[in-house]
Amino acid sequence: MRNFKVTIWYCGSAYHGWQIQNNSVTVQEIFQRCLSDLLEQPTVVIGCSRTDAGVHAREYVLNFCTESTITCRGIVFGMNSRLPDDIGVKSCQEAPPDFHARFDCKGKQYEYLIHNSEYKNPFYMNTAYRSWYPIDEKKLDRAAKDFIGKHDFRSMCSSECTKENTVRTIKSFDVRRQGDMVIFSVSGDGFLYNMVRIMVGTLLFINEGKLGEGDIPRIIQSKDRTKAGRTVPPQGLYLNKVFY
């Protein structure tokens, strides 16, 4: 039995996240269907993480096992000829038999994009969140540093989060501007349901004066979701890197 590690990227606008669901089309469903067709046998893939509906991935890692004699090149070209245009295979390599895309993952980096302009750009409709309110990226970069460290992030996750352990370690959080685009970049050992979107929403509350620049430690300590900011929409969120 051979174990393949595959890196893909996708635009998540048309999908209800990564993980297979009974009543919605997901990236995993489409990928497994195309892979099973390529290998001419039912094949299950293991993903590195869940992603929410409408969220994108620039780097998403999965693995699968097969007895097929197919080459890595055959997987890349065979899958890219079968997958829809909004999902692509970036690379493939044979991995050790015990490699597991989810359990071996050491951390992830997410980016959130905000098109900060008074004018609507239709090309960002499904790929960035638009906010006309002027964003002080330097102020938010300073405030974002208060997320760094090992904390209980219960106040920064959705009420629908089912995780008993809500302690996570944030390793870096930077906010920068490139023209009209403000980019929030955060890396950590793991993330809770809607965590990045709530952290960005909390920073936007600080930008708008609804929260103080030094309020993040107090909100984290409160473990109360109602103390944090809004949950920003999914279209601006990208799984940017996966670390092993």
107, 98, 131: which is closest to 203 by C-alpha?
A: 131
Which token pair is 11? 């635009």
- State the Cα–Cα distance between residues 114 and 130, nearest whole angstrom: 6
Mark whether 52 is an active-site residue: yes
Q: Tell me which DSSP letter residue 21 carries.
A: -
Residue 144 phi/psi, 5-degree rounding, is: -60, -25
The DSSP secondary structure of 30-79, one letter per residue, reads HHHHHHHHHHTS----EES----TT-EEEEEEEEEEE-----HHHHHHHH
CB 157, CB 191: distance < 8 Å = no
Q: Which residues contact 56 (CB under 8 A, 6 or more apart)?
A: 10, 11, 12, 13, 127, 235, 237, 238, 239
Which pair of structure tokens corresponds to residue 76? 């890349």
Q: Which of 52, 104, 152, 224 is catalytic?
A: 52
Task: Tell me the residue type at 8.
Answer: I
Active-site positions read 52
